[in-house]
Amino acid sequence: MVGRHDQTTDPELLAALLQARRGTAFFARKLNELSDAELDGDSLLPGWTRRHITAHIGYNARAIARLVEWAATGVETPMYPSTAVRDHEIDFGATLSPIALRHLFDHSAVHLNVEWRDLPEDAWHHKVRTIQGREVAATETVWMRTREVWMHAVDLDNGATFRDIPVPVLERLLKDITGAWKARGTDEDLVVKVTDCDLTLGDPTSASPTVVSGPLAAVVEWVAGRGNGGVTAVVPRVDAVEGFVDAVPPAPKWI
């Protein structure tokens, strides 16, 4: 029997789908390394256990699949009725038995993958709306899933680090997060320097910038609010002519 393939032939979209699928496989590996008892352990996100992370990733696949179905049919199928419903769903999912929780992840990932695979070429450009109210093309659903599976694989706190995340994903995460800061105006006097790819974000001409520097993986970990290992900061002081290395401040809020 001949296997079915993605209907899209767009090479950039196919590459993006591959990155999302690899992220799903990576999350699956880190999840499957955990025993059922270890699912009860804390994640790297305050207030969430590994159960919450797993439930979130499972229900997120279902929510994104609804957007893909919207693009395919033209019938509006929102991700969630509300953020309150989404939060309740995650809390409920965290109470499922280990086998049910694992099945939720597995089955929802397969469902989303099939929806992507069977979406006609032209439907990828149809508009859908995210839970935040943004109107985006269906192609954006691939990135929405990519960032979730790669980052939350780290949040499972099972040995994965931001260094495991592919460079293109890290670069887009950095762009997304700093772009959100700029849109809110929370990046004033903040300069981010990526030392291993000669990249500077922010306004280095600011009169008194706080400069946070480090390799790409460490910088993205910091901007995402997951830690500050591997980054350094130069913080301005009113009683000094120049800034000096100081404790790394918390990153502005992302989401």
Residue 136 is part of a domain; what is its CATH number?
1.20.120.450
Q: What is the pLDDT of residue 2?
A: 44
Q: What is the pLDDT of residue 1?
A: 41
Segment holding 190, helix H or strand E: strand 190-194
Sign of the Cα torsion 250, 191, 218, 221 reads positive
91 and 34 housed in the same domain? yes
Q: What is the pLDDT of residue 188?
A: 81
69 and 173 housed in the same domain? no
Cα distances (Å, whole numbers) of residue 12 to 89, 163, 168, 251:
33, 23, 12, 31
Tally of domains in the chain: 2
17 and 124 housed in the same domain? yes
Task: Give the residues of the chain that fall short of pLDDT 50.
Answer: 1-2, 240-241, 243
In a domain, 19, yes or no: yes
176 and 242 housed in the same domain? yes
84 and 180 housed in the same domain? no
In a domain, 2, yes or no: no
Q: Which of 122, 141, 160 is the last residue of a domain?
A: 160
In tens, the pLDDT along 234-251 reads: 887 655 445 455 688 888
Tokens coding 139: 């192609």
Based on the number of CB atoms within 10 Å of its own CB, is 83 exposed (0-12), middle (13-18) or buried (19 or more)?
A: exposed
Q: Are the beta carbons of 187 and 204 closer than 8 angstroms?
A: no
Segment holding 246, helix H or strand E: strand 244-246
Residue 208 sits in a domain whose CATH number is: 3.30.1050.20
Q: Which of 143, 160, 177 is the last residue of a domain?
A: 160
Range of the domain at 51: 11-160
Q: What is the pLDDT of residue 236?
A: 74
Q: Are the beta carbons of 45 and 155 closer than 8 angstroms?
A: yes
20 and 146 housed in the same domain? yes
Instruction: Give the residue among 156, 157, 149, 150 at the shortest CA–CA distance from 217.
Output: 150
In a domain, 253, yes or no: no
